[in-house]
Structure 1
């Protein structure tokens, strides 16, 4: 991942920018942390010298710069109009625009237009950073000024576009991008319950995504047919990987069902909203099940890759095993306790 000492410096700046944002006691300090995070992530995106990574880094910079400029504009207005009568009358609208800029930064619907296309030009490790770490600061900042009615609309739109967009996708990166958009909706729903619920959901989502992405990175695959061809001679590995897909979709009894289960239990007082969320998520499970059915039931005779087992690959298999059977393991532990 780090091909030079400068890449390591940019990675440390990336972490520092996120920490500054979430630990700041003012909106201006949070904006500065987001800018440090942006300026350190751009060189990491452009680390691989090809046209796709350059295009993706340019898209990311333009979108993030637009969102940052809107965020700074609202922060300046809020500081100038503080404690005035006009501010109290316009407070709801200012927070609404503030939420929009933060939602654009993390790629939530309907501000997700840049996310899948940008993912298509990135390496797997940079895609992993974009789907996990880069969502932390905007998500925590949204919790400080969340408008519940507006967030209900964002939740439905994120789950809807994340489910519809993944249909008929053959690119694994776009498939993971739309899955990330879908999970953003559920993460926002968990943040409306409490910060602890969001932390649990985000941790489990990051673990499941990391286990899948590291496998794709190790095998250097980017399309579904490559996965089908390479895993034909390794049935256990095929089973682990595609069960991990089902876990990411939230199908019981896999570990990915745990965070959705928590959100469902706490949204029982809003049944129409809950039914809509679950029904839209079933579309995500549909295309995951369709891919899994094709992998398990169709025999692919062509093998394009030879895999060598080593320590890193065994670690990836262990992560996939935990992600697949995490719910069963936790229930067994709780039963013993």
Structure 2
């Protein structure tokens, strides 16, 4: 793809998200989502490979259906209330439709089926964009309408997402599919806390995006695509191997790393709201995700792959993502001590 075409597509991607996040009119928000979807399709299918074409088709059909549902729900609400304002979603049927549409956009269970397949058919960089940037616009709409959405539905979706995100990742060997199920599980935590505390929801989203960006950057640097590839990451850079291990443990939510902070705050808030059984179930389902993170940690740092060559280091080009790693790695591993400042 030519640099000009890439620049136009990336600019359209950013513009679509910005239009959606800054609009208060449903039609403008829908236009932003459509620009966003149309910009990412060529980026997914630029490999000219059957898998990438299939991924682009699946992504387009899912996102188009979700956008149509958003437009339908906003039309029902406008028919009932006479306003297109995003903050005035008072019709119950419209809110249920909107919840389903946003779940489909984000990849929340039970509308998650497209996400692992699309990520597996994309390149690592495209998978990174879909897992992080593409979540911003639907999350902004969820943030704006959270007071009107059904807390029961969101809590059930959150619990189902953390369960499926953990269960689905157990049997995977492809890193992109593992990261897709990791994304589903993290979004489940975000959906579960949304109705109670939007501040913690936003914090969780920011930390999730930081950790996921850091993890994908590591995979790009070591050129790893499967679990087997991670066994050779130490030959690229021993330092990167250690930091990859810490990032994986942070994704799992283990203290004293950054990923522990949102889970800690979410469990605390759910308990405060007399939802201790929900908090217990979320904590138990997160153990499923932790299992495959620990398995990746084990293969990355504690195993040596059969290596016929006598060289100490793989011959590699220089990392193309040093800035990305430098910006996201400290935040994804070391910001737990800042928790008291964030709470204030």
* TM > 0.5: yes
Once structures 1 and 2 are overlaid, which stretch shifts more, 188-197 or 255-264?
A: 188-197
Q: 2:131 aligns to what?
A: 131
Q: 1:168 aligns to what?
A: 171
CA distance in 1: counterparts of 2:101 and 2:205, whole angstroms: 21
Deviation at 1:158, TM superposition (A): 0.7
Deviation at 1:317, TM superposition (A): 5.6
Task: List alignment gaps of at least 5 residues for structure 1.
Answer: none
1:66 aligns with 2:65: yes
Deviation at 1:76, TM superposition (A): 2.0
Task: List alignment gaps of at least 5 residues for structure 2.
Answer: none
- SS of aligned partner of 1:306: coil
Deviation at 1:11, TM superposition (A): 1.1
CA distance in 2: counterparts of 1:94 and 1:313, whole angstroms: 43
Compute the TM-score of the two structures, normalised by the length of structure 1: 0.88
Deviation at 1:83, TM superposition (A): 5.8
Q: Is the contact made by 2:222 and 2:236 (CA closer than 8 Å) also made in structure 1?
A: no
1:124-143 Cα distance to aligned partner (Å, 9 max, x none)? 11111111111111112123
Count of residues in Structure 1 that have an aligned counterpart in Structure 2: 328
1:253 aligns with 2:247: no
Deviation at 1:99, TM superposition (A): 1.0
Q: 1:299 aligns to what?
A: 304
The 1:37/1:303 distance shift into structure 2, 3 A limit, reads: farther
The 1:22/1:230 distance shift into structure 2, 3 A limit, reads: closer
- SS of aligned partner of 1:170: coil
The 1:274/1:50 distance shift into structure 2, 3 A limit, reads: same
- SS of aligned partner of 1:110: coil
Deviation at 1:325, TM superposition (A): 3.9
Q: 1:219 aligns to what?
A: 222
CA distance in 2: counterparts of 1:167 and 1:238, whole angstroms: 22
The 1:107/1:92 distance shift into structure 2, 3 A limit, reads: same
Compute the TM-score of the two structures, normalised by the length of structure 2: 0.87
1:245-297 Cα distance to aligned partner (Å, 9 max, x none)? 11111111111111212212211131011000000001111121123234443
CA distance in 2: counterparts of 1:328 and 1:69, whole angstroms: 40
Q: 1:145 aligns to what?
A: 145
Q: CA RMSD in A?
A: 2.6
1:280 aligns with 2:281: no
1:78-137 Cα distance to aligned partner (Å, 9 max, x none)? 2223269xxx9x921221011101110111110001110111011111111111111111
